[in-house]
Amino acid sequence: MGLFTYRAVDANAAIREGDLSARDQDHLERLLSSQGMTLIEATEGGFRGFTRFDELLQPRFKDKDLLDFTYLLKLIVASGIPLLQGINTLMKSNSNRNIGQAAKLVHQGIDSGLALSDVMQNVPGMFPPYYVQMIRAGEASGTLEGNLDFLVNYLTWHNDFKKSVRASLTYPVTVLTVLCTLVFIIFTFVFPKMLKTLTGMGAELPLPTKIMIGISGFLRNYYLLVIVALIAGYIATMLFKRSPQGRRVIDGLLLKLPLIGMLISKINMSRYFKIVATLHASGIAADTTFAIGAEVIGNSVISGKMASIAKAIVTGESISEAMRRTGFIQPLVIDMMTIAEKTGTMEITLTRASDVLDKEVPETIKKVFAYVEPLTMIVLGGMVLLLLLAVFLPIYNTVGMVKIR
């Protein structure tokens, strides 16, 4: 991510300037477009592909912090007390440090004459683009309380969704971790102790034993090199992923993985339609809604495809046809959108599409794990079989030689 200084024109033909973090200039243009602005020029102030030091110092919210802050802000707006007074109380009385810091930033910004959405836009680590856009729409239409209610519902769903995915991943990740640890212990500590006995029997060593000896010797002699190589590979991958090109390459490879790619696609589509349905229900323009929805997607390849929907809407093209071209939206949802465009039931259809995809994600996770569990057992069984053959075949050959003598 890099920090861009930009000049843009808003919907009222006023020139606006500011700083915004983006992956590249195209990403910056999409972010500004989602906020109702057209980019005039931009200058990048940081090195692309690396996190700037000032970005590291920016305050950040955890998912639960953002939900709690939104709920408290909703209570302040619903109570009818002046916003500054409510934020001031929140700033002084809240025990959560992150929420207190966010309240302080918001209080300072509003007190200096900025709108609530403008204050939040300057702290992207705390308030994501879709959140800022929802607040801006609420300020413009006088429905801030309703939009905050939408955000509370969406953030609650998002947190529950992440918890369910993590809970589903716990078992296979634990099994694979234990399996890898077991393999390392066997090859590094257990088998070398058997090696002297096996080689001292005098019989010719069979192939499984030679394989075990080779692997065990390599791990014992170069285990530090293996650890360093793994750490260096991880760091290199993370640095490569920070660049726009690297992220697209890695995200593209993940989508091509059997089962895993399908799971990533379903999870991102569920998140996409949930935020699009929420934004559209709040009265935000269709092109802005779909542009912001694309930014919520974690996979850059899918995000780029979904961003094309917003561009198609601007040119007057059918939403359903633009969705069909992406290749990531299932035919049922596309057919639903086709009917919605003809009948004017877009809001209801987006909500139904979101519900459909919400139900598909747990089913996809179960399907993926239905394959992972037997594959794990096969790998574990293969490792045990190799170990047994490596140990008992030399013993069997030695016993055979004794009988012959």
Q: For residue 312, what pLDDT is reported?
A: 86
pTM over 0.85: no
**CA–CA distance, 277 with 130 (Å, rounded to integer):** 12
Average pLDDT along the chain? 79
48: CB partners within 8 A, 6+ apart: 2, 24, 243, 244
How sure is the predictor about 224, in pLDDT bands with cuts at 50, 70 and 90? Answer: confident
With beta carbons less than 8 A apart as the criterion, state whether 136 and 117 touch.
Answer: yes
Residue 121 has pLDDT above 90, yes or no: no
Q: For residue 400, what pLDDT is reported?
A: 63
Task: Count Cβ neighbours within 10 Å for each residue of 274-306 and write b for 16 or more, e otherwise.
Answer: bbbbbbbbbebbbbbbbbbbbbbbebbbbbbbb
pLDDT digits over 53-94, tens only? 444 445 677 888 888 999 999 999 888 888 888 888 888 777
Q: Phi and psi of 362, rounded to 5°?
A: -60, -35
How sure is the predictor about 235, in pLDDT bands with cuts at 50, 70 and 90? Answer: very high
In the numeric block, the tokens 């929907």 are attached to 309
**Of 42-56, 89-103, 317-331, where does mean pLDDT reach its minimum?**
42-56
Q: For residue 23, what pLDDT is reported?
A: 64
43 forms bridges with which residues in the sheet? 5
pLDDT digits over 251-303, tens only? 999 899 887 888 888 888 888 888 888 778 777 788 888 888 887 788 889 98
pLDDT digits over 179-203, tens only? 778 777 777 777 777 666 666 666 5
